[in-house]
Amino acid sequence: MIEYRNVRVALLGAGSVGSQVARLLLEHGDELASRAGAGLELVGIAVRDTDAPRDVDLPKELFTTDAASLILGADIVVELIGGIEPARTLVLQALQSGADVVTGNKALLATHGPELFAAAEQVGAQLYYEAAVAGAIPIIRPLHDSLAGDRIERIMGIVNGTTNFILDLMDREGATFEDALATATELGYAEADPTADVEGYDAAQKAAILASLAFHTSVPLAAVHREGITSVTIEQVRAARKAGYVVKILATAERLTDAQGVEGVSARVYPALVPESHPLASVHGAKNAVFVEAEAAGDLMFYGAGAGGVETASAVLGDLVSAARRHVIGGPGIAESTQSALPVFPIGSVSTRYQITLHVADAPGVLSTVAGVLADHGVSVETVEQTAATDPGDGTAGTANLVIGTHLARESALADTVRALRDEDVVVEVTSVLRVVGA
Amino acid sequence: MIEYRNVRVALLGAGSVGSQVARLLLEHGDELASRAGAGLELVGIAVRDTDAPRDVDLPKELFTTDAASLILGADIVVELIGGIEPARTLVLQALQSGADVVTGNKALLATHGPELFAAAEQVGAQLYYEAAVAGAIPIIRPLHDSLAGDRIERIMGIVNGTTNFILDLMDREGATFEDALATATELGYAEADPTADVEGYDAAQKAAILASLAFHTSVPLAAVHREGITSVTIEQVRAARKAGYVVKILATAERLTDAQGVEGVSARVYPALVPESHPLASVHGAKNAVFVEAEAAGDLMFYGAGAGGVETASAVLGDLVSAARRHVIGGPGIAESTQSALPVFPIGSVSTRYQITLHVADAPGVLSTVAGVLADHGVSVETVEQTAATDPGDGTAGTANLVIGTHLARESALADTVRALRDEDVVVEVTSVLRVVGA
């Protein structure tokens, strides 16, 4: 039996992830020690209410409500409280005291990342955050270390399990958005207030974190363009499948050059059409996946559980072992790298492809009118499909559906095009506008 | 412009990967320096013949035939020669001189891994080998670092692009093995002598490396059970697809308990039936993917290019940046971790499911005879499907096909069962025996 020196670990928060981290630390102590080269001693768990019910049965004497004192006696602080305060203050205190911090707090990183990384750098402490994006899936470390010698061009992530579950149910069982959301809530995949998920706020936080890391540039949450899935209709999902696509909500981080030739980055979240043959299309249920396009490596995908207490605890423990190794041997951890400091572009600068579905009058010259609007805005048409919609049966002209697939064009030009189409008399309604990616 | 101290990099080998590593080092020097915190100075490239034609145009003055001298002047040695000698001697020299080594040499690691890791440990040098398994896909570091706090139960990898390309072509275009191999050779996916790929030798080396890393146990290449794909028929692939499966050749590393209750590990390579809904089933063409089942994290998959010069160079450069960071700051690298030292079991100890296809006499009592043979060996039947095969039309009894799916049973019992079935008079032929995984 090898004897190890102990590294003192303070845990803040004992929710679904925190309680699993505590359980695994206590149950797998010897195995973790052999990996880390140091014993991981759980010195205490700070919670708001020591008597609250927990998912896991943990020794009573570990609990305290005095987080600040707990931090002062720790080498490594694991923050799993979530939200901004008191998490921010406690993480800053921990870093300033020289402790390394492991966190799964995406909201905190997306809004106060630069402040936290600066505090860490000042004292040579480290901030680890594998659990903040895509739960159990190793993605932070591969981006930071494995791809450190490559140049990442684009990341497209299914990083929110709730919305992937909903869209997958709509696609595979023909459920409406409302029914799918109800099922997700019933099965515990969606919270009572699903806004953060279905409106894309959660995915936007992850997009900011991924973009900052991948492009070595601080990408603020406010710069992430965000569209949720509440307006995705079952008709859109059906039409997409018929055309060989699946609707997925993607967090995208991309290196691009704007119209003025300036190199920069974009981070955005929106539902988009993904070709059925694309690896992201076969990510079902509440699973997550992050698709990475790198200059040398080509296409990579990282797939797994994006949430869940014990699954996310795996990512936290991985960071904890790394932090403990570093504590014993010294050396580099996961530092922020913002050396590139590229400009962050608004959504208008992004080039994308649109699929526009129009409900139009079925009269001579309609196609020419529509095509003229696109041409006026410099948007080039790749495909057009016209199908008769309804015959009013009263002798007046019927209507038709027009599905237009565009070539790559700037978002700004595409948005202007859609606006102009809405103003045309021959256009009864713009039924659907969806971006097409990965084709 | 920040000035960095330089880390001296010696490159051994300038083949398809080596020449791309050299090119990227020279072209992306500033960017790599900012990631590493040190300049990566390519001090020389050792090759057998300085005048041989290269994939990439590189400065003539970098080339030398004197590898041993080059090593002595280097902080980090990148070995991309391949094969055992002179790679082994040069890597040992480099490590003994205190240089960190980055290698993509799977054959060397699978056969001499323990010797190399021991040499590294003796002087505190590091051996990095992300490029040795699954090309560009980050898998070594995620297993070593990200999952360090978890317990890996099983790894199933599509780690050989050539054989996945061949099986995929058989599945998707109905090609025979011979035709698919010919196409693979024509397109450059298979070498002139395809033995290492189609007989599973290449995959077996990777299985040994993955098993050693995942289970913290030295798994020698000789302990890897190996079956190739040369006997996979188009009939098997078609029948598999009809039953909802895809045939994939998998490198499997598994933690298991043998019949005596002893905990150990198994490493093996064979073609197996994978359910169509499994993430591995949608890995097409020459792509690779590594599916990992961990106790806490659940199912993970890492997908991407498993070969290719520039793709694999991405993995080499990632290691190189890590090695340079460590050179500047100090700290842990990718050390071997063999603390668990579990026993490595032969294939007979593994539990699996078989799909057995029999060509039998269509006579009363046949099913009962066959079922009796399975029961005698303690093998439990999950599904049976009987279809009429041929009617000889001469008044004698015809024959039938019997497809039997078994429950989990030990390989040894299953092998004995198949042998006993072959000996039964009513069994005309054992047409196909395939393992079923992931269901």
Digit-coded pLDDT (tens) for B218-238: 999 999 999 999 999 999 999
Judged by CB atoms closer than 8 Å, whether chains meet at A305 and B297 is answered as: yes
CB A36 to CB B147 under 8 A? no
Contacts with B340 from chain A: Cβ below 8 Å = 34
Answer whether residue B392 shows pLDDT above 70: no
Mean pLDDT of A187-193: 92
B208 is in an annotated binding site: no
Contact B305 A297 (CB under 8 A): yes
pLDDT of A284: 95
Are B329 and A331 within 8 A, CB to CB?
yes
Average pLDDT, whole number, for chain B?
Answer: 92
CATH number of A350-436: 3.30.70.260
The arithmetic mean of pLDDT across residues A302-317, rounded, is 95
Q: For residue B82, is it left (φ>0), alpha (ψ between -120 and 50) or beta?
A: left
Q: Chain A contacts of B155, Cβ < 8 Å?
A: none
- Report the pLDDT value the prediction gives residue A386, as an integer from 0 to 100: 85
The answer to whether A300 touches A157, Cβ cutoff 8 Å, is no
Q: What pLDDT is attached to residue A365?
A: 86
Contacts of residue A7 in chain B, CB cutoff 8 Å? Answer: none
* Model pLDDT for residues A135-167, shown as the tens digit of each residue: 999 999 999 999 999 999 999 999 999 999 999
In terms of CA atoms, which chain A residue is nearest residue B310? Answer: A296
Quote the ipTM score.
Answer: 0.89
Active site residue A60: no
A286 to chain B: which residues are within 8 Å by CB?
Answer: none
Confidence of residue A394 (pLDDT cuts 50, 70, 90): low
Which of A216, A305, A318 is nearest residue B146 as measured by Cβ atoms? A318
Six token digits for residue A101: 């911090």
pLDDT, tens digit (0-9, with 9 covering 90-100), for B323-346: 998 888 766 555 555 567 788 888
Closest by CA position to B236, among listed B177, B277, B179, B159: B177
- What is the CATH number that goes with domain A140-305? 3.30.360.10
Q: Is B30 on the interface with A (CB under 8 A)?
A: no
**In this predicted model, what pLDDT tens digit does every residue of B145-165 receive, in sequence order?**
999 999 999 999 999 999 999
Closest residue in A to B33 (Cα–Cα)? A149
Residue B192 amino acid letter = A
Asked if the model's pLDDT at residue A281 lies above 90, the reply is yes
Structure tokens at A231: 């307006």
Residue A1 has pLDDT above 90, yes or no: no
Residue the block writes with tokens 């102990």:
A6
Of B24, B142, B329, the CB nearest to A138: B142
pLDDT at residue A349, rounded to an integer: 84
What CATH topology corresponds to B6-136+310-329?
A: Rossmann fold (3.40.50)
| Average pLDDT of chain A to the nearest whole number | 92
Judged against a pLDDT cut of 80, whether residue A391 lies above it is answered with no
Q: What is the DSSP string of A105-159?
A: -HHHHHHHHHHHHHHHHHHT--EE-GGGSSTTS--HHIIIIITTTS-EEEEEEE-
**pLDDT beyond 80 at B391:** no
Domain with CATH 3.30.70.260 in chain B: 350-436
Considering A60, A206, A242, A248, which one is annotated as catalytic? Answer: A206
Are residues A149 and B317, on separate chains, in Cβ contact within 8 Å?
Answer: yes
Taking a contact as any Cβ pair under 8 Å apart, which residues of chain A between 387 and 406 contact chain B? none
Distance from CA of B335 to the nearest CA of A (A): 10
Tokens of residue A346, six digits: 């608004």
Average pLDDT of the residues in A380-390: 83
**Coil, strand or helix: which one is B39?**
strand
Q: Quick check: A35 and B302 CB within 8 A?
A: no
**What SS3 string covers B285-321?**
CCEEEEEEEECCCEEEEEEEECCCHHHHHHHHHHHHH
Residues of B in contact with A296 (CB under 8 A): 20, 24, 136, 310-311, 313-314, 317
- Residue B236 pLDDT: 93
Q: Is the bond preceding B346 in cis, omega lying within 30 degrees of 0?
A: no
Q: Return the sign of the alpha-carbon dihedral for residues A375, A379, A385, A388.
A: negative
CA distance B400 to B384: 12
Q: What confidence score (pLDDT) does residue B394 get?
A: 65
A304 touches chain B (CB under 8 A): yes
Per-residue pLDDT tens for A314-372?
999 999 999 998 888 766 555 555 567 788 888 888 889 999 999 998 888 888 999 99
Structure-token match 């003192």, residue found? A8
Distance, CA of A133 to CA of A129 (rounded, Å): 8
Backbone angles phi, psi at B191, to 5 degrees: -85, 170
Per-residue pLDDT, A404: 92
pLDDT for the residue A396:
59
Per-residue pLDDT band for B1 (boundaries 50, 70, 90) equals low
Distances B233 to B32, B177, B322, B417 between C-alpha atoms, Å: 48, 7, 45, 22
- As a whole number of angstroms, the distance between CA B168 and CA B173 comes to 8
Burial of B329 (0-12, 13-18, 19+ CB in 10 A): middle
Q: What is the pLDDT of residue B212?
A: 94
pLDDT(B39) > 60:
yes
- Alpha-carbon gap: B115 to the closest alpha carbon of chain A (Å): 21
**Residues 167-226 of chain B whose Cβ lies under 8 A from any Cβ of chain A:** 216
Measure Cα distances from B109 to A224, B308, B339, B340 in Å.
44, 20, 18, 19
**Residues B241-252, mean pLDDT to the nearest whole number:** 95
CB atoms B149 and A314 under 8 Å: yes
- pLDDT at B387 (0 to 100): 80
Q: Does A9 lie at the interface with B, CB-CB under 8 angstroms?
A: no
Q: Are B225 and B265 in contact (CB under 8 A)?
A: no
Q: What is the pLDDT of residue A337?
A: 57
Q: Do B317 and A326 touch (CB under 8 A)?
A: no
- Cα–Cα dist A332/A373, whole Å: 55
Tens digit of pLDDT for each residue in A237-272? 999 999 999 999 999 999 998 888 899 999 999 999
Q: Does A310 touch chain B (CB under 8 A)?
A: yes
Q: Which CATH architecture has domain A6-134+310-329?
A: 3-Layer(aba) Sandwich (3.40)
Q: Among candidates B357, B367, B349, which has minimal Cα distance to B405?
A: B357
CA-wise closest residue to B113 among B94, B132, B134: B132
Residue from the list A136, A282, A326 with its beta carbon closest to the beta carbon of B282: A282
Q: How far is A360 from chain B (nearest CA, A)?
A: 39
DSSP B323-366: HHHHHHH---------SS-PPBPPGGG-EEEEEEEEEEE-STTH
Record the tokens describing residue B52, joined without a space.
């041989």
Q: Do A146 and B148 touch (CB under 8 A)?
A: no
User: Which residues of A are part of a known binding site?
Assistant: 12-19, 106, 191
| Chain B contact present for A274, CB below 8 A | no
Please give the residue of chain B at the shortest CA–CA distance from A35.
B148
**Which of B23, B121, B145, B312 has the most A C-beta neighbours within 10 Å, making it the best mutation to test the interface with A?**
B145
**β pairing state of B76-79 and B100-103:** parallel
Question: Does the structure show a pLDDT above 70 at B250?
Answer: yes
The partner residue sitting opposite B296, judged by closest CB among A294, A302, A314, is A314
- Residue A329 touches partner B, C-beta closer than 8 Å: yes
- So what's the pLDDT on residue A387? 80
pLDDT value of position B34: 87
Tokens encoding B294: 């961990």
Dist CA B266 CA B419 (whole Å): 23
